[in-house]
Amino acid sequence: MRWFMALQDAIASLAEFPERCPLSSENAVFPFEVRHLLYGHPPHVYRVLFMIEGKTVYVLHIRHGRRQPLKH
């Protein structure tokens, strides 16, 4: 439960300054900007994929860092 609550806090932190996160490798295959937030410690790192539209951040997917990038 502690891990999940910390993940929620990490996602909530995107409300402050989401542009701090880099563009994801998936960015090239989508018609909108896709960024990722890394969460966790190796080897258990998760990627929170998200997009920004105005002042709203949309979480698109949460993936383990070792999984292949999403494809359109």
Per-residue pLDDT at 38? 96
Is 71 contained in some domain? no
Is 24 contained in some domain? yes
Other beta carbons within 10 Å of 13: 14
Is 69 contained in some domain? no
What is the residue range of 28's domain?
2-64
Instruction: Report phi then psi at 35, rounded to 5.
Output: -120, 170
Residues near 7 by Cβ (< 8 Å), separated by ≥ 6?
Answer: 39, 46, 48, 62
Is 57 contained in some domain? yes
Is 34 contained in some domain? yes
Is the predicted pLDDT of residue 72 greater than 70, yes or no? Answer: no
Is 70 contained in some domain? no
**pLDDT tens digits along 11-39:** 999 999 999 999 999 899 899 999 999 99
Is 14 contained in some domain? yes
Is the predicted pLDDT of residue 51 greater than 90, yes or no? Answer: yes
The total number of structural domains in the chain stands at 1
Is the predicted pLDDT of residue 63 greater than 90, yes or no? Answer: yes
